Amino acid sequence: MKFGYKASAEQFSPSHLLELGLMAEQAGFDSVFISDHLQPWRHHGGHAPAALPWLGALVSATERIIVGTSVLTPTLRYHPAVIAQAFATLGCLAPGRVVLGVGSGEAMNEAPLGVPWPRPRERITRLAEAIDIIQRLWREERLDYAGQYYNLRQATIYDRPTVPVPLYAAASGPVATRLAGRVADGFITTSGKGESLYTQRLLPALATGAAEAGRTVKDLELVMEVKVSFDPDRDRAAADTRFWGALALSSEEKTGVEDPLVMERLADALPLERTASRWIVSDDPEEHVEQIWRYGQMGFTHLVFHAPGPDQARFLDLYSEAILPRLRARAERDDVVSSAAKVTAGGWA
């Protein structure tokens, strides 16, 4: 089990975000992930540092943590071959510490460049083609590729890492999740959408996709981006979620929204109770860990924590002292119980 930190690119400047990434390593987190957005969820007070140069700075400044995108869209603003080259370079700079997380994208990040926003089926098809190109460029020489959306002619990535870069695919619906199970090394999704979505729709779709590739879900890294707001002052923990009110908007409310000002206006119209509904809001460490651990019990193996408040240093300190030790103890205890159950059931000789 790994525990990561989500660097909120939409909320902080590049230099401050880099400081927070370093603090996360010092606080004992196992990973730092950043989203790759052209525009933030909010216009006023928002930020949008470019993920690729920022990741280069982070891997140069750190020694231990896994770093990656949660997530990047390799289909519209970028040609997938450019992403293959960029992450191969990052993998050379930090062998074994880089992950490429990809997704099908959002209109707010692609449409401002004049890119027509595709329908869902096309976005998934583009993503599948992009993943195929990236993975093949990482293992093949002089790739010729004639796809529905992308073409390559004798393309080569000349600097490849000795340790392959894993590719994780993000999804919030069963079609993209099945694709992740079939072609990716890991699966990324986000918390707070109701347990049945994960247990009855996404995880079964992931298993189906994995079976199509001759493997099981256990062969994948399952990443849950957990939305958490923890503080000894519960009112403060709830109020901190206001900045990220857009996360509580339904897909129907935000689909096709291209302007951060519009997204901000929609989010600010929500009551605090709804804004906070996407987050695990707590002032009690034991209660907080119990709520988080539901995702561990579902089978997620890498929990990445996204905190909404402006004082991220406070969050990192609180989590380092009160939450991470409890989570690691819980993970170790559950492993022991699981192992004992296997022995009892005759699973081990």
Q: Which helix (H) or strand (E) holds 40?
A: none
Best CA proximity match to 228, nearest among 298, 156, 294: 294
**Alpha carbons within 13 A on the beta-carbon side of 17:** 25
79 in active site: no
The one catalytic residue among 25, 106, 225, 264? 106
Q: What pLDDT score does 348 carry? A: 28
Q: What pLDDT score does 252 carry? A: 85
Place of tokens 């401002």: 112
Q: Which portions of the chain are predicted below pLDDT 70?
A: 336-349
Dist. CA 13–CA 253, nearest whole Å: 28
Dist. CA 331–CA 293, nearest whole Å: 9
CA dihedral of residues 336, 342, 343, 346 (deg, nearest 10): 180
CA 70, 75, 76, 81 torsion: positive or negative? positive
Q: What pLDDT score does 115 carry? A: 85
Q: What pLDDT score does 334 carry? A: 87
Best CA proximity match to 186, nearest among 230, 131, 110: 131
The one catalytic residue among 37, 288, 302, 306? 37
Best CA proximity match to 30, nearest among 268, 223, 280: 223
Greatest C-alpha distance within the chain: 62
106 in active site: yes
Q: Which domains does the chain have, with CATH numbers?
A: 2-344 (3.20.20.30)
- Please return the burial class of 145, using the count of CB atoms within 10 Å of its CB with bins 0-12, 13-18 and 19+: middle
